[in-house]
């Protein structure tokens, strides 16, 4: 039995349902490509029609398509060999493409937010280079726009595909039923549409599963459980700041795969773009309460308080709104977040490697703790110990502590941390450096003995040297023991 999502995939942009504004913006991007030569990112939740829209556009424009899927290796070499060749006006057979519109190739890179790791080594930088130098239109498909590198985001246009509403999904299901000759109960189609929460592809899959071996479908035939689908950040912000009641906004908050402190930051950063002043004042009262509860979480490590922060940030802010809001809003990322995704990834990677935990654990559990105990580099010695333990540079220390990367405070902490690391390396080298220094001194002594006419009383001098070496060695051992105790105590306090 054919997959209905492929069988009834839109063949033209006019058949794409539920994202009229995004569809029109995409069509305009294609028509004006000669004027800007920019790549475009289609981003939004899975199943909302992004990839279908890309193929439908190519069909409308008469363009060939070259698609690089997530299942393919997407290393720099592969991207260069396939997508790169197409983007520089060459067909896959190696012949040059003509300059007219009909001879163009649309390069489609699916899951562009998921190019990482050894499997895709060099892929992200290759894609960034590709979109900057392309002579052909490129479409990047992403679920989470902010999982893409900042360089790639800055080099492309972006179009958001929103979750498809139930009222847009139902006509699609109805058309499929009619084409397949299936009698349907309208309530059954409504149940499927609502259960998929904006996922059009999932709704079509559920319809096909529910009608397997049947020529009709009723409400009883529909599985009542909702599809396990996390809500995206932007639909969540729409729910809180524009559309849903306090109770519905709270349910949306629990459907987002983000922690309450991150959700609170997103709401706080965008509330003024939507709310009128009077409503914003009420909203900030709730955000202040949320911040108090988040502070208690940091102070006590009692994460059961998170629910009170969520109550205030989601339900409270939604209740502060005067009715529902319409229109589209460009939501901005919280300003205090790292200016570089690469810096955040590098810091989390170092924490995971040094701590022997997973990257996910380092990001979710260890990093928030470090941010709390070293906030604004206080206490300083603890911050130095942290920077030394994880070998952080200025960008890394600034990211964890929230201090300015270019400040003298951060620079001095990194300098002291590097000195501490060098001391620990020498200390744990089992005397290798000390033996090397002693060997050098012996060589110098041996080479200087026969040539120095003024060296009288060599026996007495040798005895004195032995005594001094013994005394110096004892003092050095004692100082090393004290230094080791101090360093270990500092690291113990830190850990």
Which CATH number does the domain housing residue 208 bear? 1.10.8
Question: Which residue bears the tokens 């939004």?
Answer: 44
Same domain membership, residue 13 and residue 123: yes
Residue 338 covered by a domain: no
Region 390-400: mean pLDDT is 89
Same domain membership, residue 494 and residue 359: yes
Chain segment 163-215, per-residue pLDDT in tens: 888 889 999 999 999 999 999 999 999 989 888 878 898 889 889 888 888 89
Region 443-457: mean pLDDT is 49
Q: How confident is the model at residue 93 (pLDDT cuts 50, 70, 90)?
A: very low
Among 143, 152, 146, residue whose Cα is nearest residue 124: 152
Same domain membership, residue 271 and residue 188: no
Contact 380, 412 (CB under 8 A): no
Same domain membership, residue 487 and residue 349: yes
Q: How confident is the model at residue 468 (pLDDT cuts 50, 70, 90)?
A: very low
Contact 367, 347 (CB under 8 A): yes
Question: Which residue bears the tokens 């009709």?
Answer: 216
Residue 283 covered by a domain: yes
Highest mean pLDDT among 84-93, 346-355, 359-368: 346-355
**Where do runs of H (alpha helix) occur along 196-330?**
200-210, 233-238, 246-255, 260-270, 277-300, 306-310, 317-319
Same domain membership, residue 93 and residue 27: yes
Q: Which stretch of 126-140, 142-156, 222-236, 423-437 has the lowest confidence by average pLDDT?
A: 423-437
- Cross-strand partners of 90: 96
Contact 279, 321 (CB under 8 A): yes
User: Looking at beta carbons, which pairs linking 85-92 to residues 24 or more positions away fall under 8 Å?
Assistant: 86/136, 87/130, 87/133, 87/134, 87/135, 87/136, 87/138, 88/133, 88/134, 88/135, 88/136, 89/135, 89/136, 91/64, 92/66
Cα–Cα distance for residue pair 309/295, rounded to 1 Å: 10
pLDDT > 70 in the chain, percent: 72
Region 55-81: mean pLDDT is 73
Residue 121 covered by a domain: yes
Per-residue pLDDT at 173: 94
Region 365-375: mean pLDDT is 84
Chain segment 221-259, per-residue pLDDT in tens: 886 444 555 567 888 899 999 988 998 888 888 877 677
Residue 478 covered by a domain: yes
Same domain membership, residue 248 and residue 198: no
Per-residue pLDDT at 91: 45
pTM of the model: 0.49
φ and ψ of 479, to 5 deg = -65, -40
Q: Is the pLDDT of residue 473 over 70?
A: no
Domain of residue 297 covers 233-319
Counted domains in the chain: 4
Same domain membership, residue 302 and residue 250: yes
Contact 88, 47 (CB under 8 A): no
Residue 88 covered by a domain: yes
Same domain membership, residue 193 and residue 76: no
- Provide the mean pLDDT of the chain: 77
Per-residue pLDDT at 23: 94
Highest mean pLDDT among 357-366, 422-431, 438-447: 357-366
Residue 337 covered by a domain: no
Same domain membership, residue 240 and residue 130: no
Same domain membership, residue 415 and residue 271: no
Region 71-85: mean pLDDT is 57
CATH of the domain at 127: 3.40.50.300
Same domain membership, residue 262 and residue 212: no
Q: How confident is the model at residue 466 (pLDDT cuts 50, 70, 90)?
A: very low
Same domain membership, residue 385 and residue 302: no
């Amino acid at each position: 039995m054919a997959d209905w999502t492929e069988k009834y995939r839109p063949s033209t942009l006019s058949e794409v349902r539920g994202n009229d504004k995004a569809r029109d913006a995409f069509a305009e991007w294609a028509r004006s490509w000669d004027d800007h030569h920019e790549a475009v990112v289609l981003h939004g939740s899975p199943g909302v029609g992004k990839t279908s829209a890309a193929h439908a556009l190519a069909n409308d424009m008469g363009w060939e398509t070259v698609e690089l899927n997530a299942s393919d290796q997407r290393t720099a070499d592969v991207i260069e060999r396939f997508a790169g060749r197409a983007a520089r006006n060459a067909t896959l057979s190696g012949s040059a493409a003509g300059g007219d519109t009909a001879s163009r190739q649309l390069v489609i890179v699916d899951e562009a937010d998921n190019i990482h790791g050894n499997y895709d080594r060099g892929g992200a930088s290759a894609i960034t280079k590709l979109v900057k130098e392309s002579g052909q239109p490129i479409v990047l498909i992403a679920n989470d726009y902010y999982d893409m590198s900042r360089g790639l985001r800055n080099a492309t246009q972006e179009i958001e595909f929103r979750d498809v509403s139930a009222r847009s999904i139902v006509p699609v299901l109805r058309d499929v039923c009619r084409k397949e000759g299936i009698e349907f109960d309208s309530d059954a189609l409504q149940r499927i549409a609502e259960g998929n929460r904006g996922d059009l592809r999932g709704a079509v899959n559920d319809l096909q599963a529910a009608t397997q071996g049947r020529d009709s479908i009723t409400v009883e035939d529909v599985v009542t459980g909702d599809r396990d689908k996390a809500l995206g950040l932007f639909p969540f912000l729409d729910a809180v700041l524009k559309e849903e009641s306090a109770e519905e906004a709270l349910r949306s908050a629990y459907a987002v795969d983000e922690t309450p402190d991150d959700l609170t930051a997103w709401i706080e950063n965008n509330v003024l773009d939507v709310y009128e002043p009077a409503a914003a004042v009420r909203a900030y009262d709730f955000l202040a309460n949320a911040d108090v509860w988040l502070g208690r979480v940091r102070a006590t490590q009692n994460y059961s308080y998170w629910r009170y922060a969520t109550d205030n940030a989601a339900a409270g802010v939604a209740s502060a709104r005067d009715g529902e809001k319409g229109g589209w809003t460009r939501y901005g990322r919280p300003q205090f977040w790292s200016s570089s995704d690469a810096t955040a990834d590098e810091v989390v990677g170092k924490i995971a490697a040094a701590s022997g935990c997973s990257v996910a654990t380092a990001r979710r559990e260890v990093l928030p703790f470090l941010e709390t105990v070293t906030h604004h580099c206080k206490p300083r010695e603890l911050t130095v110990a942290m920077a030394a333990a994880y070998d952080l540079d200025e960008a890394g220390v600034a990211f964890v502590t929230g201090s300015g990367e270019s400040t003298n405070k951060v620079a001095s902490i990194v300098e002291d941390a590097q000195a501490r690391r060098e001391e620990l390396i020498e200390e744990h080298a089992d005397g290798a450096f000390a033996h090397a220094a002693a060997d050098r001194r012996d060589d110098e002594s041996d080479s200087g003995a026969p040539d120095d006419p003024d060296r009288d009383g060599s026996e007495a001098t040798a005895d004195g040297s032995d005594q001094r070496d013994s005394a110096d060695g004892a003092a050095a051992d004692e100082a090393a023991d004290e230094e080791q105790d101090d360093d270990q105590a500092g690291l113990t306090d830190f850990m």
